[in-house]
Structure 1
Amino acid sequence: MRVNKHFCSVSHACIPSKSQALNCGSRLLVVSGTVDHKYSLSGKCGRRRRVVASVATEQSVDNAEGTLSTEGEAFLAGRSENGSVQSITISYRDKKVGKHVEGRKYESVSVKDYMDRSRDFIVPDGGPPRWFCPLECSHPPKDAPVLFFLPGVRRISFTVIFNIQLETYTGMDGIGLGLILHHQTLADLFEVRCLHIPVMDRTSFEGLVKCVEETIRLEHKVSPMKPIYLVGDSFGGCLALAVAARNPTIDLILILANPATSFNKSQLQPLFPLLEAIPPELHGTVPYLLSSVMGDPVRMAMADINDELPLLDTVQQLSENLEALLPRLSNLADIVPKETLLWKLKLLRSAALYTNSRLHAVKAEVLLLASGKDQMLPTRDEAIHLLNKLSNCRVRYFRDSGHTLLLEGGINLATVIKSSRLYRHSRNRDYVLDFVPPTPQEFKEVYDKKDWWFRVATGPVLFSTLEDGKIVKGLTGIPQHGPVLLVGNHMLMGLELVPLVGEFLRQRNIFVRGIAHPALFSKRSDEGLHQENQIDDVRLFGAVPVSAKNLFRLLSTKSFALLYPGGAREALHRKGEQYQLFWPERSEFVRMAARFGATIIPFAAVGEDDIAELLLDYNDLKEIPYMSNWIKQLNQDVQNVRSDMPGEVANQEVHIPGMAPKIPGRLYYLFGKPIATAGRENELKDREKAHSLYLHVKGEVEAGMSYLQEKRKEDPYRQIIPRLLYEATWNFTRQAPAFEP
């Protein structure tokens, strides 16, 4: 067995029949025992830490304890002499070290780290494929699902440019470090295990399928109620699909990055006879032959660059990153002989043929990550093909990325998984308990980058009401702890949502969970080559489909829930209906809020008439035959949750109205005086009293809208030009003031 500072790995049989030492620098971990007995672990160097080790076999799970001087966790798996799969999980943690700390910063990782760590993997050791767990992933959350990474075996080429001469260097993937840029963020969600395929390994594709399959089946046997995630990169995508086709009853979730199922259409196909004919002394020219199928080197070098740096500093850092890759790449072409390269290419071809013949048997949930600039494979066309062939497939399209998608900057795999509704702990998705709050980095990416233009254009101002009825600027009047139910009015297209949720996080560090229309969670919302958009952000920030059950779950977990009783009818109102409420006749939420002692906060939002003008509403669109059919198709698979109610509130058909933007004004929010329901559960069980409180909340929202519409006339910075001029004098570090409440 071999261990280094980054990972634990095994060289041959994972379960030794005799005592065997694992060297980790100056540290020593002794593993002893046999398959039929418990393992004893011991190690000592400096400060002592507790070790928990488990040995999992197809027959039993045994435990042992010991001590070890270092921190981390490693999952070791391989084949014993009789051919059965065995595994050891070694966890060593300091009791004082907690798991994920909210707001923690991640260490900067780049492709340079990928190349540095690769040196420990590419030395031929004669061992079979095996699993390892990166030490960055050593503290998974409690009851976290397992994520297996299946690497590619393609050749990766880099072209170094800028202030150094143009040269191309090539390295062999398959080592299992393809997720290195994502280890830290994935560690907050999963127990991560990576497959390592040694450089000189000659295991056939079917042999690799069986190796992964046996590990998957063992994991399923140990935790039958948990989903198992397979992240397949290129060749690994074929491997994941093949395993899923052979195991349709196991709850698998596949995430495929540019899968090599289209290898028969690859530009590498004509290279087979050429590579076979190249004499050994000219093997060094192979990188040049393959330079046309490389990933984007600039995007790789940008992975760890702070995007807030000035332009000149960014260019300097990019140049340094590209130059730093040179000594790390210069020797890789010599390590991989021509015979190995040919074997890998033949392995890709057999993988594509094997997998394509079994796509019909794949029942797993599939998320396909497709690059728009993949020069190795026709990934865009293949994404459309797989979308039609697989029964449960969605696509996320990255237009500017190359084949080495997971090693490029601009993509966070953990974020993609969360925003795609893929993260869950059990077979049944729980929108409340499976929610993982966005990290500070994710919040910054959405609110400070994607949506900055909307915030600048609308200059949102929030007011709240204290217990004594005084209105103050900011969110001081909002309780710090839940359960809290925010109840208010929708503006056109829900334009008020982004600043509302963002400011609650920025000002008070409170996650507001929106109760959203089912259309945001339908299959139709993910159709085609779907690029990341506003819908993904809404789901990332914890929105749940509207239902009494989900509201119940949110309040029972003391969450801050955001409810719009007017629903889609209010957000998609008709001409002349702005600032009108379309609420049900009877209470929908009061008695449920009282059951959990939730605080109800009515709120109002105005400003849509300063942002956009409605040109074509629902009635206009229904008069156009083509648009009428489009609306019908759009709502075909969308549940109307209020179809049994009387009045206009039942008309919840989703559509996109025609709008014309205006020179933007400002958005205003007023959160009314908190209404406590704690201790009033018995009182509010009475339907009439609950209805009376419901009407009071509705009246507060209407009064708030009237107040804001009148007071905004006193705002000297209501329009964008004077507002931007004021904020520019403060170098945009201070928001322009509004009216005095």
Structure 2
Amino acid sequence: MSSIRLNSSKIQCLRLAGLFVTATVTRRSLIMILVINSAGIDGVGLGLIRQHQRLGKIFDIWCLHIPVKDRTSFTGLVKLVESTVRSESNRSPKRPVYLVGESLGACIALAVAARNPDIDLVLILVNPATSFNKSVLQSTIPLLELIPGQITTMLSSTLSLMTGDPLKMAMDNVAKRLSLQPTIQDLSQDLVALSSYLPVLADILPKETLLWKIELLKAASAYANSRLHAVKAQMLVLCSGKDQLMPSQEEGERLSSALHKCEPRNFYGHGHFLLLEDGVDLVTIIKGASYYRRGRNHDYVSDFMPPTSSEFNKICEDFRWMRVLSSPVMLSTLANGKIVRGLSGIPSEGPVLFVGYHNLLGLDVLTLIPEFMIESNILLRGLAHPMMYFKSKEGGLSDLSPYDVMRIMGAVPVSGINLYKLMSSKSHVLLYPGGVREALHRKGEEYKLFWPESSEFVRMATTFGAKIVPFGAVGEDDLAQIVLDYNDQMKIPYFKSQIEELTVTAARLRTDTKGEVANQDMHMPYPVPKVPGRFYFYFGKPIETKGRKRELRDREKAHELYLEIKSEVEKCLAYLKEKRENDPYRNILPRLIYQATHGFTSQVPTFEP
């Protein structure tokens, strides 16, 4: 078996009970990950080959490979993996062990987790074969037993189902080519390679071998399903929408409902061999779901890995429409008080705390954070509502996947301890004191602050001598208009019951606050889009807290600074609302005309600061 070299680490190959285990030399700074992806029908073991390089940068990798002629029972495979997991857990008891299992490998991972509830395991299951009883393979067993000899045609057909969408995988490679002639040539080569691969596999897998593999799947599915109740491990299930071999999306929903620590992630346009398809990055998926941790619990600050250039570029591409629609204008204030276009007035050294007004549905964040990265290479670490991070026990926001992008970009659940950790790590932190009440405001409440009386974030910033940058953002009223707000929905029984259910399951943040800024009932305002206007951001002069720790230890003095920051935010909002009236490019049509004549990457002018 050929070895894959990772990060110049030496690879060891061990022969155990008729199975091969491939492992990098253990590096204690990393987490151990056991890949059980090679336990599919074909047994070739290439299911994770496109993921090895990136995984090898943050994990010690052990890969299980089952030779074609091996006849080890399912329980035998489970025991082999179990012994490796126990050994590694004993070696590093404070670190989790990750099991990545694809198809049959997912059943092995579940079985190991059920048998070892005391070990800290993280399971990444890809199109798990726990749904075998609903698979097309279930009905092939009696038929295969009746057919003598080699069954090349049927096997080729079966294997083509496993690949999910061969043409898509070929086109993924072709789409990266630049000229037409190489594109046609590469397409034909990819298709020829796929067609020639199937007969080779048919020679590798005679009828007896195929029957053994299918029976192994059947036994694995029954074993894993009978022990689901004993699984205590944290689990992420990746489900393909075009899996023609297993009903993977349906299975992901079933597992998610049955296991509280289980979260599904759906990949609607992909086939059974998900991790072989272009655009699927397992490391990014793990990061986005907040499943990468070095200890018993996930730490949103110390466990965070900044987005790579490819991850950031993909996010920018996904939200490019928002940048085109809103054409954001960034203004900042220099040390001498001069207002300039751009972010040159923003402190480059942290810690820095940005405090501002939260636009409707947080639309401002979609442009604010990317602009900081593009112009200043500063990653804003946002403090967000915990409901975007934690699956509710019953009802509420059970699908957390829409917020994966926020986690990749470094957002953390809002809490005093997380703000403390971010300040201590000298981060640039984004805080909206108005929180949900501002982001989910009602008709006529645009640009109105709903801040609590507490000045704790001032005292926290002072502890680390952080600079505080008050800022305002306007433009939501140029993009959308609320037609059904909280007050409207509470008059309609259907919406009222939804709000009450969601509010009960959501985390409560301001239990000691009363009035308008107290815990906001969770609801979704219904806006209608408008002819797109423009987003404007104005960052005021940074406020120094360094050297003021003793002064601001006094609650009255801290509250005075708090009110000063709030007043500055209101001044920023008023400034932008007034100045945008003089922007000839406030509406989208003049902007599109300008970009059509000057290039679509050119910066569109605005008012003079």
TM-score normalised according to structure 2 size: 0.94
Residue 267 of structure 1: how far off its partner (Å): 1.0
Residue identity opposite 2:270 in structure 1: S
Q: Residue 72 in 1 paired to residue 9 in 2?
A: yes
Matches within 5 A, 1:681-692: 681-692=549-560
Q: Residue 541 in 1 paired to residue 443 in 2?
A: no
Residue 427 of structure 1: how far off its partner (Å): 0.5
8 Å CA contact 2:396–2:506 kept in 1: the answer is no
* Aligned equivalents of 2:494, 2:102: Cα separation in 1: 41
* Aligned equivalents of 1:533, 1:607: Cα separation in 2: 27
C-alpha RMSD of matched pairs (Å):
2.5
8 Å CA contact 1:567–1:652 kept in 2: the answer is no
* Aligned equivalents of 1:686, 1:737: Cα separation in 2: 45
The residue that corresponds to 1:669 in the other structure is 537
Residue 144 of structure 1: how far off its partner (Å): 2.1
- Relative to structure 2, which stretch is displaced further, 655-664 or 288-297? 288-297
Residues 382 and 311 (structure 1 numbering): CA distance in 2 closer, same or farther, change over 3 Å?
farther
The residue that corresponds to 1:593 in the other structure is 461
Matches within 5 A, 1:357-436: 357-436=226-305
Q: Partner of 2:244: helix, strand, or coil? A: coil
* Aligned equivalents of 1:316, 1:698: Cα separation in 2: 63
Residues 484 and 522 (structure 1 numbering): CA distance in 2 closer, same or farther, change over 3 Å?
same
Q: 2:105 aligns with which of 212, 222, 236?
A: 236
* Aligned equivalents of 1:523, 1:593: Cα separation in 2: 31
The residue that corresponds to 1:260 in the other structure is 129
The residue that corresponds to 1:698 in the other structure is 566
* Aligned equivalents of 2:605, 2:193: Cα separation in 1: 48
Q: Residue 6 in 1 paired to residue 4 in 2?
A: yes
8 Å CA contact 1:483–1:598 kept in 2: the answer is yes
Residue identity opposite 2:233 in structure 1: A
Q: 1:466 aligns with which of 327, 330, 334?
A: 334
**Alpha-carbon displacement from aligned partner over 1:13-70 (angstroms, at most 9, x marks no partner):** xxxxxxxxxxxxxxxxxxxxxxxxxxxxxxxxxxxxxxxxxxxxxxxxxxxxxxxxx9
Residue 418 of structure 1: how far off its partner (Å): 1.1
**Alpha-carbon displacement from aligned partner over 1:144-188 (angstroms, at most 9, x marks no partner):** 211111125444xxxxxxxxxxxxxxxx2x343311121222223
8 Å CA contact 1:73–1:139 kept in 2: the answer is no
Residues 650 and 312 (structure 1 numbering): CA distance in 2 closer, same or farther, change over 3 Å?
farther
Q: Partner of 2:550: helix, strand, or coil? A: helix
Residue 409 of structure 1: how far off its partner (Å): 1.9
Residue 325 of structure 1: how far off its partner (Å): 4.3
Stretches of structure 1 that go unaligned for 5 or more consecutive residues are 9-69, 80-126, 156-171
The residue that corresponds to 1:709 in the other structure is 577
Residue 468 of structure 1: how far off its partner (Å): 0.7
Matches within 5 A, 1:119-518: 128-133=18-23, 143-155=29-41, 172=42, 174-280=43-149, 282-283=151-152, 285-288=154-157, 290-304=159-173, 317-325=186-194, 331-448=200-317, 450-518=318-386
Residues 613 and 308 (structure 1 numbering): CA distance in 2 closer, same or farther, change over 3 Å?
farther
**Alpha-carbon displacement from aligned partner over 1:672-697 (angstroms, at most 9, x marks no partner):** 11111111111211222212211111
Residue 365 of structure 1: how far off its partner (Å): 1.1
Residue 632 of structure 1: how far off its partner (Å): 1.1
Q: Partner of 1:280: helix, strand, or coil? A: coil
Residues 531 and 440 (structure 1 numbering): CA distance in 2 closer, same or farther, change over 3 Å?
farther
8 Å CA contact 1:398–1:531 kept in 2: the answer is no
Matches within 5 A, 1:540-689: 540-689=408-557
8 Å CA contact 2:434–2:517 kept in 1: the answer is yes
- Relative to structure 2, which stretch is displaced further, 517-526 or 312-321? 312-321
- Relative to structure 2, which stretch is displaced further, 180-189 or 514-523? 180-189
* Aligned equivalents of 1:602, 1:394: Cα separation in 2: 37
Stretches of structure 2 that go unaligned for 5 or more consecutive residues are none
**Alpha-carbon displacement from aligned partner over 1:203-239 (angstroms, at most 9, x marks no partner):** 1100000000000000110011111111110000100
- Relative to structure 2, which stretch is displaced further, 283-292 or 683-692? 283-292
* Aligned equivalents of 1:609, 1:400: Cα separation in 2: 35
Residues 582 and 348 (structure 1 numbering): CA distance in 2 closer, same or farther, change over 3 Å?
same
Relative to its length, the structure with more strand (as a share) is 1
8 Å CA contact 1:133–1:194 kept in 2: the answer is yes
8 Å CA contact 1:425–1:434 kept in 2: the answer is yes
Residue 310 of structure 1: how far off its partner (Å): 8.4
Residues 402 and 590 (structure 1 numbering): CA distance in 2 closer, same or farther, change over 3 Å?
same
* Aligned equivalents of 1:646, 1:670: Cα separation in 2: 31
Residue 526 of structure 1: how far off its partner (Å): 11
Residue identity opposite 2:116 in structure 1: N
8 Å CA contact 1:302–1:408 kept in 2: the answer is no
- Relative to structure 2, which stretch is displaced further, 699-708 or 632-641? 632-641
Q: Partner of 1:514: helix, strand, or coil? A: strand
Residues 524 and 530 (structure 1 numbering): CA distance in 2 closer, same or farther, change over 3 Å?
closer
8 Å CA contact 2:165–2:270 kept in 1: the answer is yes
* Aligned equivalents of 1:497, 1:337: Cα separation in 2: 57
Q: Partner of 2:18: helix, strand, or coil? A: coil
Residue identity opposite 1:704 in structure 2: C
Residue identity opposite 1:151 in structure 2: N
Bigger RCO of structures 1 and 2 (CA < 8 A, at least 6 apart): 2
* Aligned equivalents of 1:379, 1:528: Cα separation in 2: 23
Q: Partner of 2:430: helix, strand, or coil? A: strand
Relative to its length, the structure with more helix (as a share) is 2
8 Å CA contact 2:100–2:124 kept in 1: the answer is yes
Residue 305 of structure 1: how far off its partner (Å): 5.4
8 Å CA contact 1:368–1:383 kept in 2: the answer is yes
* Aligned equivalents of 1:624, 1:147: Cα separation in 2: 51
**Alpha-carbon displacement from aligned partner over 1:609-643 (angstroms, at most 9, x marks no partner):** 10000111111111111111101111222222112
How many pairs align? Answer: 609
**Alpha-carbon displacement from aligned partner over 1:395-443 (angstroms, at most 9, x marks no partner):** 1111221111111123221111111121111002211111111111111
Residue 265 of structure 1: how far off its partner (Å): 2.1
**Alpha-carbon displacement from aligned partner over 1:106-155 (angstroms, at most 9, x marks no partner):** xxxxxxxxxxxxxxxxxxxxx72122147xxx897x72211111125444
8 Å CA contact 1:394–1:527 kept in 2: the answer is no
The percent identity for this pair of structures is: 53
Q: Partner of 2:456: helix, strand, or coil? A: coil
8 Å CA contact 2:396–2:502 kept in 1: the answer is no
* Aligned equivalents of 2:506, 2:328: Cα separation in 1: 32
8 Å CA contact 1:395–1:529 kept in 2: the answer is no
